[in-house]
Structures are given as C-alpha cells and as structure tokens.
Amino acid sequence: MSVWTVLLAAGSGTRLAQASGGVKKQFLRLAGKPLYWRSLATFAQCPEMAGIVVVFPPDDLDEARAELTALLAKKDPGVAVAVTAGGVRRQDSVANGLAALPAGCRTVLVHDAARPFVDAGLIARVLDALAAGAGAVIPALPVTDTVKEARDGLVVRTLDRKSLAAVQTPQGFDLGLLRRAFAAAGEGCDVTDDASLVEHLGLPVAIVAGSPENRKITNPEDLALLAERAAPAHPVVGYGYDVHRYADPLKPGKQPARPMKLGGYPILGAPEVLAHSDGDVLLHALTDAILGCVAAGDIGTLYPDSNPDFDNMASGVFVSEALILARSKGLTISHVDLTIIAQIPRIHPHAQAIRLNVAALLGLDRSQVNVKATTEEGLGFTGEKKGIKAVAVVTGLRRPVTDPDAPAS
C-alpha cells in the first residue's frame, strides 16, 4: 500500500477558545511543540507511511506553515510532509487534503489532530484491515453509558447500547472509494466523519478496536489531559565511583596532599589524600552519579584535573554544578545511597554528620540520604591503608524538558 495521512488541524476550536486564551486547540503546546506535531510524529513512525498532508485553517496557513517548516528542519520525520488550507466544514478540509495527495497514493488515513494520543498499535489495526481487503475502516469503542434519544428536554426512547459504538480516528480508506463517496455526497451533504460518506453509498465500513487513550481534546476540562501527558517522568539511576590514594608523610610527592573531607565534612586526624581538588572522594562519586542520571558524562570530562582553576576546589562546587545541569535536563532526585570503603579512618562516628551535610547540599531531607561504610577485610589497597573508595547511587525521576530541538515524542 502507498499510504498517506491527511492530518486535520483546521478547526476553529470555539469550545476551547476561552479556556485556551483564544489559541486554537491544534496549536496548543504539548512538550514545547504544537499539538498537531504529536500526531504527525506518531504517524511518521509507521513503516507503511509514505507521507502526511497537514490541513491548517486558511487564516493561519502562512504562520503555521512557517512553524512546521522550522520543526521539520530540526527533526526530520522521515516521510514527506505537505501543507494545504482547510475549508468551511470538516469534510471540505478533508477534500482539500485529498486533493493534495500525490498521484501514487492508493490508501489514505484521515486523523483529527485533536486526538494527539493516537498510538502505533491503533494505526496498525486500521492498516491491517485495509490490507485484508476492507475499503473503509474505523476504530471504535463500545458504549458503556446508557444512551437515550431526547427531544425538547424529554426522552424519546432508550437505545440499545450493545449496538452502539463510539467512533475515533484515524479512519482508513481506499483512496478511490473515498473520492467516489465525496463526489456522490455533493454539497448538500454534511457529515461529522468520513465513513458516513461511504455509508451513504451503501457500502460496508469495517470496525477495529479503538483505544481508550485516543481521547479528543474538545472541551475545557480536556486541557488537563495535556498537562498530564506533557512531560511524563521516568525513573533513572546514576552510579558513581571514585578512589583516592593516601599521602605518605614519609614520601612527599608532587601532587598536593589535602586534609580529608567526606561529603564536605572534615574528618580530623584522618590520613591526607592526594588530589587536584580538595579530594572529597565521596562528593566526587556523588557528582558522577548525578551526571549519570542525565547521561551528561563524568566529573573528569567536565572538571578535568589539568585545569588549574580547579586546584583545591571545594568538591561541593562540583556537586552543585552537576545538580544545576541535571535539573535543567529534568531530573528530580528522590534518594541517594552512599558507601565509603576504607580500613581507616573509622567512618561510623562521622556518618550522621556526613549524611546531614550531603542532604543539605542536595536540598533533600535526611530521610532521602543514606551513608554507610565498610572495610575490605585487610584486602587490596584500602585494606592495606593506602587509600579510600566511595560509591554513590542516585535514583530519581527525569521529566523531558521543554526543548524545541528535542526529538519529537
């Protein structure tokens, strides 16, 4: 099948006008982009899709075309994209979209941009039914409410909900059949969906399972759906590990020896550590763990020890800078688990002070920070009292940021 989609983004959105500040619903922002882009990106990811015609309101055509061109320049969807103006009625907008299709198109999907949460599975069900021979296909959901026919404020009759279905888009068609249905309908026929035109020809329309998530943004209360879906958070874990050698007081080296700090807390009487910065092994591991949550590299890349500006730098600065960077990328830290590995000094007397210091540095409650210590039973360089290790695990939620250059969701 040579498949194209006509994406209808030409409505006036009068029912939402007051709640949206006059912005037409297809141009409301979702994850920093206009609402119609969400559907465009979803359809573009379907392997069968050759292209998409976006139908905009005539009054907004130039501005909308310019914004779409800018979006396409930043993120190529991988399919052809064309633009045309809509008409007075929905079916007029569809007709204009059909007129913009290329000669090679044989199958068309028609989708309302006001349904931004359409998914690939639903699109595939429509395409599979068309591939199996159906000339027209609609997705639908069973009606669960009791439905009554009413007139002048009175019930006329109760309809059998077993025979009713709530129809969604995308609706799929053999292009030749849909064009024939439009021609037969004439100017006097006014319908709310394209399958109705095929029904007027007396031809069958197949039904596939719709999706409860494929909601339409229509009324002011529907705007809450955009807020909920704008930036779904996902859990992330960052891991950090660092090692520092102890200074040998009998063999002074070229690298400076620093008084030991752990989590920014001075450990009096402990061995000095060799380091370019202040040598806080715990905060160095923590910095790497924070950076790991947002895939931002490591402390050595961002703050190399070859840079003299970082000579004896307080490691809390590294943590703070990493935290600013991570927050700009949507990270909210929920928990920090820190482990110090050393034969000396004894960490237990300082653990709570370190915990409070780290919690304050991160802006967390102390219940969100755990500090523990262990030895390596005399094994390895830590067991031989030659150095100290630290491990940090940071867990949190990362919410996609509003970034016009980010890939389409």
The model's pLDDT over 313-330, given as tens digits with 9 standing for 90+, comes to 889 999 999 999 999 888
Residues 104 and 179 in one domain: yes
Domain that holds residue 69: 3-229
Whether residue 272 is contained in a domain is answered as yes
Whether residue 407 is contained in a domain is answered as no
Distance of alpha carbon 49 from alpha carbon 4, whole angstroms: 6
**Cut 0.85: pTM above it:** no
170 and 137 in contact (C-beta within 8 Å)? no
Query: Which of 58-67, 189-198, 209-218, 350-359 is the least confident region?
Result: 189-198
Confidence of residue 83 (pLDDT cuts 50, 70, 90): very high
Distances (CA, A) of 281 to 265, 289, 386, 390: 11, 13, 14, 6
pLDDT at 27 over 70: yes
Whether residue 184 is contained in a domain is answered as yes
Q: What is the CATH number of the domain that holds 331?
A: 3.30.1330.50
Residues 308 and 278 in one domain: yes
Whether residue 119 is contained in a domain is answered as yes
Residues 256 and 225 in one domain: no
Mean pLDDT value of segment 66-72: 95
Residues 187 and 317 in one domain: no
Residues 216 and 246 in one domain: no
Residues 315 and 180 in one domain: no
Residues 125 and 144 in one domain: yes
Whether residue 406 is contained in a domain is answered as no
Residues 143 and 257 in one domain: no
Residues 44 and 77 in one domain: yes
Residues 224 and 261 in one domain: no
pLDDT at 213 over 70: yes
Q: Give the three-class secondary structure for 187.
A: coil
Residues 32 and 150 in one domain: yes
Q: What is the CATH number of the domain that holds 83?
A: 3.90.550.10
- Of the residues 229, 250, 268, the one at which a domain ends: 229
Domain count of the fold of the chain: 2
